[in-house]
């Protein structure tokens, strides 16, 4: 089954404690992205990756890092989380054909206290 | 910056009626649009897409209409069912930065029995 898998689904952490949210896709997609979803703001792109070792900032990259060492994995790293990073996070992937849908993971609900 | 998606935040329809969800966009250069459905606790799921060289596209029970003159996009759901209750997002993909999806804030569709 084609899918995007994120872990963990839920996470509560304290300010300043580094964390990583993992994302893996099994569709051999070139493009992967991270979004955050906040009430009234919809989905906003944090970072994206066009292929292995190629990443770029989205609309709201501050406070986040990503890496793309393998095609299937695209982890999101928060080096020093802050309460304003409390949000619902989604990983997405799609093929290099530009007219294709993006497949989304189930989401990670992060709370930073 | 340019934006997508001036949505009514909520829409309630009677089961069996047709639903129309609207979206406005401001970037006249956008060439590709997607509608996503997000059920509670899940990631967005692709419903239907349309390119800017089309005015209408039909799927199973869904139709997307694109009016480039007024930069307006709509999603029509025929014979709305309880399982259609969800948040619906329109998203825009711009050719220049085609790996980026810009989402509207979403419309909550509630189907009444």
- B37 touching A (Cβ < 8 Å): no
Q: What pLDDT sits at residue A13?
A: 96
One-character DSSP codes across chain B? ---B----SEEEEETTS-EEEEEEB--TT--EEEEEEE-TTS--EEEEEEETT-SEEE-SSEEEEEETTTTEEEEEESS--GGG-EEEEEEEE-STTTT-EEE---EEEEEE-
Between the alpha carbon of residue B60 and those of residues A32, A34, A78, B77, the distances in Å are 28, 29, 41, 9
Residue ranges in chain A whose pLDDT is less than 50: none
Q: What pLDDT sits at residue B2?
A: 38
Q: What pLDDT sits at residue B96?
A: 58
User: pLDDT means per 10 residues in chain B (113 residues)?
Assistant: 56 96 86 92 92 94 95 96 95 71 88 93
With beta carbons under 8 A apart, name residues in chain A contacting B44: 43, 90, 104
With beta carbons under 8 A apart, name residues in chain B contacting A107: 41-43
Which pair of structure tokens corresponds to residue B49?
């897409």
């Amino acid at each position: 089954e084609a899918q995007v898998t994120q872990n963990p689904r839920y996470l509560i952490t304290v300010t300043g404690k580094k964390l990583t949210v993992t994302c893996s896709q099994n569709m051999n997609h070139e493009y992967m992205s991270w979004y955050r979803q906040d009430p009234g703001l919809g989905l906003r792109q944090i970072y994206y990756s066009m292929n292995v070792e190629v990443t770029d900032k989205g609309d709201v990259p501050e406070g986040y890092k990503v890496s793309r060492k393998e095609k299937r994995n695209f982890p999101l790293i928060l080096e020093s989380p802050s309460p304003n990073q409390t949000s619902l996070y989604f990983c997405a992937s799609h093929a290099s054909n530009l007219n294709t849908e993006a497949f989304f993971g189930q989401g990670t609900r992060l709370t930073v206290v | 910056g340019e934006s997508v998606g001036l949505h009514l935040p909520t829409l309630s329809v009677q089961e069996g009626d047709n639903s129309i969800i609207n979206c406005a966009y401001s970037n006249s250069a956008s060439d590709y649009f997607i509608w996503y459905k997000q059920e509670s606790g899940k990631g967005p799921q692709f419903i239907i897409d349309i390119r800017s060289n089309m005015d209408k596209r039909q799927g199973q029970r869904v139709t997307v209409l694109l009016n480039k003159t007024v930069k307006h996009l709509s999603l029509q759901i025929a014979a709305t069912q309880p399982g259609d209750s969800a948040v619906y997002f329109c998203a825009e993909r711009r050719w220049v930065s085609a790996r980026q999806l810009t989402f509207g804030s979403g419309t909550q569709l509630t189907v009444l029995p």
